[in-house]
Structure 1
Amino acid sequence: MQVDVYSFGSAISACATGSMWREALSALGEMQILEILPSIVAWNSAVSACARAGQWQRAFRLLGDLEGMPIEADVVTYSSVMKACDMSSQWQLALALLGSLRRQDVRANLVAFNTAISACVSDRWALAVHMLQESIAQAMCPDPFSLASALDACSAAEDWPLALNCLREGRIGATTPCWNAMIKAAAETGGWTMAVHLLQRMPADQLQPNIMTSGSTLKAAERSSEWDVALFLLVTSIPQRLLRGNVIIHNSLLSAFSQASKWQAALHLLDSMAAQCQPDAVSYNTTITACTRATHSQHAMELLSSMEHQSLERSAISFNSAAGAFADGRWAFSLELLASMSTAAVAPNAGNCSAAMNACEKGGEWRWPLEALATARPGMANTVVYNAAMSACAQAIQWIQACDLMRQMTAGTVAPSVVTFNSLVNALASGRKPELVLQLLPAMAEAASLPNAVTLSSAVDACARGERWMWAFTVLEWFPRHCLPAPLAALRSAASGASGAGRWRRAALLLEASSDAADTAAIASAAAGSESSAPPTVLLDAVAHGATGVLHALNGS
């Protein structure tokens, strides 16, 4: 077999097609050993092989190696290296190459501009639009790829008006990919009216919507507060040919109904799907979620049972969707559902376990969450599950058990979160253990978990309910320390503790900013029953015109 530039060129071209960059570079090296000068076509094929494999550094090096060689880089060489940069999110290099190409009098063609536009889509959307305008200025007629890339950039920037302007400046007939990109841009910014309008306009431009068109418009409808209008317009605009046999579009519609808590519409659509396509597990899971959001447990359980009859795989997601129906506190039903997973040969996950614990919390059941944690398989008891068990103990005023759970977490590998600490503070507040709360707050810093407004408000409440009003005032000082505004509820708790101890002046100063009649009435009532001789009129005047505030209240008598 004769070995010449043509045989090597064919071999390297085949390597480029298969993204075999190592073989392509090896062939170039062999040509140099045999002193066969590669053609620019063979060199470009090697660059393309590197580009397709994401080897942008090697593609860039091949471009540099051409300096001093008898062959010169052409627009294809630059475009291939730019493509490699695009695939590796190296938009700066792609733009630099475009500038270098133009400086060397190698006329930049539309492919090079398209590559530059594509490279800028994710991070530099304004540059992508500029590249489109630059190609137009150089009398290059943008193709659908140019427009679609620029429109995708507008979508990434959530700027669909700019997308519409790009389409007008394109000076070519719009295509379905261009329309899809603009609908996507409208959907990302909640412009559902524009998205539906564009969908309805497509037939007038002799364009046929496809699955991406419908999916993007559905996304806009899901985000819309006017979901019913959006869905009506959408359903009447989607061609029947797309609905027939297309479970994806049906599932998107079901998701829109579920998001809007329109369980009846979701059930109706699921029933009618049989005439168009076969519902899958996603169809049922989504409809189950719609029913549970409306607390229609019977429909949710019927759908879960129907999945078995339809020979559809019931996953942990299916059972978790149904568990939401019992989140109102019907913990016995929730535990039955969890137990039925074993019958269905479905292993419960942390989500299933925490959902059952949440139902126990609402129903006042705290024993089962502790038992579940004690028997949980490795990896099941994560922070979310512990938080759910902690909340159940807090709700049932089982502060000792809540403290035990915290000790288990810190002794093991499960890191407590601020939610964990908040639940424990609530449990201690219910158990009137303010001294433990004050020990817990500094411990949060050791666990790298800073208290939030909920933590501190619960701590204030714990001190007030534990008849430690001075401690409550001390906790109030933590709010500015953590750059948090003290909620009115926290001020009321501290004021309640102070007034209960006959310290109505401090209580009045805390609530001076409140215009709620209940606050002034509560303090007046406390003052009337205290040992102070101050008349209610003086008290009310202090509430209305106190000139100091919390800091003065902390220093008052």
Structure 2
Amino acid sequence: RFGAAISACEKGARWQHALAVFAAMPRLRIVPNEITCNAAVSACEKAAQWQHAIALFAAMPELSAAPVIVTCCATMSACEKDAQWQRCLSLFASLPRLRLAPNVVSCSASMSACERGAQWQRTIALFSAMPQLRVARTAVSCGVATLACEGAAEWQRALVLFAAMLQLGIAPDAQACNAAMRACEQGAQWQRSLAIIRAMPRLRVAPTAIACSAAMSSCEQGSKWQRAISLSTTPLLDVLDCIAAEVGDR
């Protein structure tokens, strides 16, 4: 009953109410279990209340509620939302002690926290460790790694990661494509920029204003404005719409 009530609060984005219900359980002589703890942590995670999420997670052993990977991932995701990369990595490092195996969510949350905290080396270290941890690389993890390198102006590394993603048969998402396009812009790699934007429909990624702007900037830096115009000879109507919008804003 209490687990359902806390879950309802979580789904309704009422994290304060979720914590109030959780706090009322001991007064009613009801011991919280893994289900209620997980629901309370998840409510905090969705609201980016990382302090409360960590406090709940830390209290689980005292409540004789064994932490499960879902609860740990929710706590890490709460930290990731506020770029609390040190805390996220600390939680990640505690997994073996808790006899929990890292999974895609925990790895992606740790990488994203490091990326948001401008810790691109740590992001890449986690990404590189995924095969050893027996965690499959996904479009999300590849995209975060590419984004981290691009954000640190490591454009060559970003493009290597993007190329590796394609070689592994992992379909990039919009975030990865945007990061790769901005990396091309940083390195004035107009040929690669156009190649990526032309490949986006085949990759089932809708061209975005960010990608179009980066392509135009890359061509401009390479004095290849004609190349940007040549996009009109391709069936990429979405790209043209983005370019038109970009020009209109200027």
Q: CA deviation at 1:13?
A: 1.1
Rounded to whole Å, the distance in 1 between the matches of 2:146 and 2:39 is: 30
Q: Report matched runs for 1:346-495 at 5 Å.
A: none
CA, structure 1 residues 192+62, in 2 after alignment: closer, same or farther (shift >3 Å)? same
Structure 1 counterpart of 2:204, from 189, 208, 211:
208
Aligned to 2:28: 34
Give the Cα separation in 2 of the matches to 1:188 and 1:16. 42
Residue among 178, 181, 192 paired with 1:194: 192
Counterpart for residue 183 of structure 1: 181
**Per-residue deviation, 1:209:** 4.2
Provide the secondary structure at the position in 2 that maps to 1:120. helix
1:53-64 correspondence to structure 2 within 5 Å: 53-64=47-58
| 1:303-335 alpha-carbon deviations (Å, 9 max, x no partner) | xxxxxxxxxxxxxxxxxxxxxxxxxxxxxxxxx
Q: Which has the higher contact order (CA 8 A, sep 6+)?
A: 2
Q: Are 1:187 and 1:219, in contact at CA under 8 Å, matched by a contact in 2?
A: yes
Work out whether residues 143 and 173 of structure 2, in 8 Å CA contact, stay in contact via their aligned partners in 1.
no
Out of 8, 15, 20, the residue aligned to residue 21 of structure 1 is 15
Contact kept, 8 Å, 2:80 with 2:88, in 1: the verdict is yes
1:111 to 102, 105, 115: 105
What one-letter code is carried by the residue in structure 2 that aligns with 1:142?
A: R
Corresponding letter in the other structure for 2:47: A
- 1:51 pairs, out of 45, 53, 74, with 45
Alignment check: 8 A CA contact 1:159 1:186 kept: no
Determine whether 1:240 maps to 2:234.
no
Q: Is the 8 A contact 2:32 2:63 kept in 1?
A: no
Structure 2 residue 207 is matched with structure 1 residue 219: no
Give me the whole-angstrom Cα distance separating, in 1, the residues matched to 2:184 and 2:12. Answer: 38
Sequence identity percentage: 27
Q: CA deviation at 1:227?
A: 4.0
Which residue does the alignment assign to 1:438? none
Q: TM-score, normalised by structure 1?
A: 0.41
Any stretches of 5+ residues in structure 1 without a counterpart?
Answer: 1-6, 255-282, 287-557
Q: Which residue of 1 aligns with 2:3?
A: 9
- Segments of 5+ residues of structure 2 without an aligned counterpart are none
Question: Which position in structure 2 is the counterpart of 1:68?
Answer: 62
Q: Does structure 1 conserve the Cα–Cα contact (< 8 Å) formed by 2:200 and 2:206?
A: no
What CA deviation, in whole Å up to 9, does each residue of 1:419-468 have, x standing for no partner?
xxxxxxxxxxxxxxxxxxxxxxxxxxxxxxxxxxxxxxxxxxxxxxxxxx
CA distance in 2, matches of 1:132, 1:168: 15
Q: Is the CA contact (8 Å cut-off) linking 1:142 and 1:172 kept in structure 2?
A: no
For 1:547, the equivalent position in structure 2 comes to none
Contact 1:218 1:234 in 2 (8 A): no
Q: Could you tell me how far apart the structure 1 residues matched to 2:91 and 2:230 are?
A: 46
CA–CA distance in structure 1, aligned partners of residues 85 and 53 of structure 2: 15
Is structure 2 residue 129 aligned with structure 1 residue 134?
Answer: yes
Deviation at 1:128, TM superposition (A): 1.0
Distance change in 2, residues 1:50/1:231 (3 Å): same
Structure 2 counterpart of 1:167, one-letter code: F
Cα contact 2:123–2:148 (8 A) shared by 1: yes
Q: Distance in 2 between matches of 1:31 and 1:8?
A: 8
The residue type equivalent to 1:39 in the other structure is N
TM-align CA RMSD: 2.3
Inter-CA distance 219–192: structure 2 relative to 1 (3 Å threshold)? same
For residues 212-261 of structure 1, the C-alpha deviation after alignment (integer angstroms, 9 at most, x for no partner) is 2x532432422533141441344444612554xx4x54121x2xxxxxxx
Larger Rg computed on CA atoms? 1
* Counterparts of 1:79 and 1:157, CA distance in 2: 26
Q: Which residue pairs with 1:529 in the alignment?
A: none
The verdict on how the C-alpha distance between 1:164 and 1:59 changes in structure 2, with shifts beyond 3 A counting, is: same
